[in-house]
Amino acid sequence: MPDRSWFLAIDGKQQGPYPDAQLRDFIARGMVTAQTMVWTEGMAGWQKAGEVPGLTSPAGPPAMARTGDPLTGDAEIGQAASLNVGVWPFLGRSLLYIIGLLLVIPAPWIATSFYRWIVSRISVPGRPNLGFTGRVGDIWYVFVVSGLSIYADAIDNTYVSFVVLVLGAFLAWMILRWIAGNLSSNGQELPISFTGSALGYVGWYLLMCISYITIIGWAWVITAWMRWICRNISGTRREVVFNATGLALLWRTVLFALGCVVIIPIPWVLSWYFRWYISQFALVERGATG
């Protein structure tokens, strides 16, 4: 019945009708998953797309064969993530995040809002409508301490500065775990978690700081650090990788810093730099990086 029309139920709302060809296009692009509820004339009731015979079969349209198995969250090998943000919204949200930390008290609310906004604008192949479900009360104290540590870092004392440095790395580790554990796709929570140890994360952070002595060595340390983080992301059927080289990170970061010094280009270089950075994360078949 190639001429049938389909209705979808996404986030509790009915959508459609869509022609059969358009529905299969949605499936090929990962916009409709195996868990999406669908209905067409002749069906006794709503069913999950993955349970409808023939709808998600390998004999589907060529587009589905090219993209792997989007219904289970698998994306084409090597497909990269992307950040879809406007220049001014990204600048405004970033400034608001910094201001929130400086004011300390509103930090948990502003930080949670920022992560919810930024995650919703990241596109990941096979993970349509990426979202963030973290709540303000989850780790509110982390953002409060992060705000207070900014002022503590102003104290002219080597011991205090070192403690603040280590504390900052530990807090960043907690935030990373929080974000990874609260991701969703099409309104459904993903079984993803970051399993890297706090000691390992702090160690990489300190190594990065020390590497600045080499002038350019930090770029290679950061790329190695990102790959360590990727190796410690669990719950995905495919492996997350970081493709940037040290040289690519080096010259882009230098250009970004120069743009910030000039001040006027800040909105554009900020958006350009972070869009590139996110695009360096991709999904590959596990073991393909050997």
Range of the domain at 175: 84-232
pTM score, whole prediction: 0.75
Looking at residue 12, its pLDDT comes to: 66
Q: Which residue has tokens 């953002």?
A: 143
Confidence at residue 37, expressed as pLDDT on a 0 to 100 scale: 83
CA 34/CA 188 separation, integer angstroms: 12
Q: What is the pLDDT of residue 36?
A: 83
CA end-to-end span of the chain: 45
Give the sign of the dihedral formed by CA 45, CA 49, CA 51, CA 52. Answer: positive
Q: Which of 214, 232, 250 is the last residue of a domain?
A: 232
- Please write the tens of the pLDDT for every residue from 254-290: 999 999 999 999 999 999 999 999 999 998 877 666 5
Please report whether residue 245 resides in a domain.
no
- In-domain check, residue 11: yes
Taking residues 115-122, what's their average pLDDT? 96
Q: How many domains does the chain fold into?
A: 2
**45: in domain:** yes
In this structure, the answer to whether residues 63 and 185 fall within a common structural domain is no
For residue 39, what pLDDT band results from cuts at 50, 70 and 90? Answer: confident
Write down the pLDDT at residue 132.
Answer: 97
For residue 48, what are its two tokens?
């999950």
Residue 103 buriedness (CB in 10 A; 0-12 / 13-18 / 19+) = exposed
Nearest C-alpha neighbor of 68 from the set 79, 81, 83, 55: 79
Co-location of 40 and 149 in the same domain: no
Same domain, residue pair 117 and 19: no
Residue 185 lies in a domain: yes
The pLDDT of residue 196 is 97
Residues 30-40: b if buried by 16+ CB within 10 A, e if exposed: bbbbbbbbbbb
Do 113 and 218 fall within a single domain?
Answer: yes
